[in-house]
Each structure stands twice: as structure tokens, then as C-alpha cells.
Amino acid sequence: MNESRLGEKSLNFIGTIAETVSAADFPRGNYLIDDSRYDAEGDWAFCRFSSDEVYAARLGFTRGAYDFADFGYVPASAESYLLVHLHLMTREGAVLWTATGQFKAEQVTSDRDEMDVQLLAGEKEVFRIQGWPHMRWHFRSDDGRSEADLEFDLSNATILPDNILPGNVFSMWESIGRVRGSIRYRDKTIPVSGVIFYDHSRFRIQDNAVPPRQWHLYTPMFFEDGSAIISYYTVDHTGTCVEDYSFGLYVDADSNSRWLPKATLSDLKFDQDGLPKAWRLQFAGHGFHLEVNISAKSTSILEAWGAWGTSKIPKARKDFVLIPLVLDGIGAVNEDDASRTIQGYGLAEYWRMPDVE
């Protein structure tokens, strides 16, 4: 069971769970890195673009004492983990640069007073994240093959429930906004704009008497009327839904939020690589009902390179844990006996415990 509930305080952040506030009013202590109090922290951006050449990008990092064994990588040093991704979903296929284990956590520097996080490899800037709530994100693969130069304008922020896992307490908040900038792959630079789902995650290492997780499906989606849904659906090792971490957060165009504590997942279909290709989510509560029918684009891997701990970088789509899923969907909203249909788009993440040989 989660230790935090709707209306209660987060274990790792300043504020009330499921309460949406203006990004400008969000406490600074929530988005700055504090390695004196937390074992691991990270920043991740899920961008969905209107471009027909680059559909989406997922970029970010996690550093600190966090066990990446679920990703097929067990670092030698328990205090020096660093996961770095720059994943681009293009019309031609996925361009996946991953640097898990390539750099050390201590190479990341962060300002204690303002949002400014940077990773340098020699004199080369691998990434830099600056500002709040207007942000600048610059990520570049160490070999220069791919690059993202993006600006975010964040509207709101919401602390999600704490996730009590067997080896840690995982907490995150989510912010929704607009993104613009450019994406480059090799010698081609493409201007992009769209929507951003941005989260900051924190971990405290501790043993908890809860069952291990088998998989989760994280589905952030933006709708044409300016509203959005953020949802998690989680299953434990027995195939049972983890109700404490299966939920929805609906945010309208004016940043008013509605907490939906129960998510129902149905009609989940998988493709030939074992990745979700279609599913239905339903949420209900207090005179509100939302049903979303979702389909994911079948995007092959154009190129995957970098580091994957001590193993070779996965080349096959079926072996690439956490490959982004580019979404389109139709939502049906019933609120106070009034119904409407809205079209949506997003970028999802499906994580499953990898098979152990």
C-alpha cells in the first residue's frame, strides 16, 4: 500500500499530492537537485511535436543510487549511476542514443540556488537544463550525431502519489506546457513545436514489504481542446493491478485538475515485438467519465547506439526496454451529463521486467 494518499503530503516533495498549481508558484525545492537528502533524482521530458518528420522526443537523465538492474545494467558503484537518453522518433524510424554507464554521476553539476544542471564530457556539453518555468534544454550525443535544442513554457505542476517499490520510494511530479526548438540528426536540422510532459523524479533507497512490479504503462496525452490526461497503470509480478499506482490526472485548458484515483485498462493489444499497439483507458469520478481509445505508431529502429552498461546496446525493437511509443487517440468525455469527443496525441512509456536468461 502506498503511504501517501490524495490530499496528503508527498514523502519526497514539498506539497500536497494531486494538487495542481501554477508552475510559477511551484516550490523551488521541488525542481532543484538535492543530493544531500535524496539518493537519486532525474529530469525527463516527453515531447510530442506537430512535425511530420519528427513525431516526438524523449530526453533526460537520472543520477544517484538507483538500481538499473531492471534495464539490464548493474553498475559497479552503487553511488555513481547515471542514465542519459536522447531518443528521437522520426518518420524514418527511431534514433536512440543511450548513455547508461558511459558517464559517472559526479560529472553532472547542478546549481543549488537556481535551475541549472549540466553534464560535460571534457569540453563537450552533453546536456544542460536551465530556467523555470521557462526552460532551455540542450542535449547532444557525445559523438554529435543527434541533438535537441528546445525551449519549454510550463503552465502547471502536480505532485503524483508516491510509489512504494521493493527497494525504494519513488516520487515524481508532472508539468505540462508547450515546446519549441529544433531537432538534429546527422546533418539534418528540423524545427519543431508541440506539447511537453516534463517530470522530476526522486528516489529514497529503502526496503519495503511490497510485491515486485512486472510492468507499467505510462500514458500522457494532450487533447485538441487544450486539456490533458496523465495516467499510470501498473501490474505486479502476479499479474494483479497495483491499484495504488494505477490512476489518472485530468487537467483542463485552464490548468484546473481532476484527480481520478482509479484507472481501468482494457483491450490491450501487442505487436510482433511484444510492445503495446492499442489499448483503452477509462477513468471515472464525481460526475466525470473519460474513455480514451489509443493506438501507437509502429516505428522501427533506424539507429541505436551508445552505452548500455556492460552489455551491447540493444538493436532490436523487442529488446529495447522503454522505447517511446508515439500515440494518437480519441477521447470521449461525459461531464455533468454533457458529452463531447476530443482527439488526442502523446508519447507513452511501457516498461516490463526483462526476461532473465
Distant-in-sequence, close-in-space partners of 205: CB < 8 Å, separation ≥ 6: 39, 40, 65, 66, 167, 168
Which residues in 324-349 are b (16+ Cβ under 10 Å) and which e? bbbbbbebebeeeeeeeebebbbbbb
Q: Give the integer Cα–Cα distance in Å for 119 and 38.
A: 19
CB of 224 closer than 8 Å to CB of 244: no
SS (H, E, C) 102-114: CCCHHHEEECCCC
Q: Give the integer Cα–Cα distance in Å for 222 and 216.
A: 20
Q: Give the integer Cα–Cα distance in Å for 339 and 332.
A: 7
Residue 103's nearest CA partner among 67, 131, 129, 77 is: 77
CA distances from 221 to 114, 260, 294 (A): 29, 15, 10
Residue 209, helix vs strand vs coil? coil
> DSSP letters of 74-99?
--S-TT-EEEEEEEEEESS-EEEEEE
CB of 201 closer than 8 Å to CB of 39: no
Place of cell 538500481: 67
Q: Which domains does the chain have, with CATH numbers?
A: 20-352 (2.40.370.10)
> DSSP letters of 157-188?
EEEPPPEE-SSEEEEEEEEEEEEEEEEEETTE
What is the value of pTM for the model shown? 0.94
Instruction: Specify the pLDDT at position 99.
Output: 93
CA dihedral 317, 198, 71, 168 (to 10 degrees): -150
Q: Give the integer Cα–Cα distance in Å for 266 and 293.
A: 10
Place of cell 529530469: 43
Q: What end-to-end distance do the CA atoms of the chain give, in Å?
A: 31
Instruction: Specify the pLDDT at position 39.
Output: 87
Instruction: Specify the pLDDT at position 69.
Output: 54
pLDDT tens for the chain, 357 residues: list them: 334 466 789 999 999 999 999 999 999 999 999 888 888 999 999 999 999 999 999 999 999 876 555 544 445 455 678 889 999 999 999 999 999 888 988 899 999 999 999 999 989 999 999 999 999 999 999 999 999 999 999 999 999 999 998 888 899 999 999 999 999 999 999 999 999 999 999 998 888 898 988 999 999 999 999 999 999 999 999 999 999 999 999 999 999 999 999 899 999 999 999 999 999 999 998 789 999 999 999 899 999 999 887 678 888 999 887 899 999 999 999 988 889 999 999 999 999 886 644
Fill in the DSSP letter of residue 30.
H
What's the full length of the chain, in residues? Answer: 357
Instruction: Specify the pLDDT at position 2.
Output: 39
Fill in the DSSP letter of residue 10.
P
Residue 88's nearest CA partner among 301, 315, 274, 273 is: 301
Q: Give the integer Cα–Cα distance in Å for 244 and 160.
A: 11
Q: Give the integer Cα–Cα distance in Å for 106 and 320.
A: 27
Instruction: Specify the pLDDT at position 100.
Output: 84
Instruction: Specify the pLDDT at position 1.
Output: 34
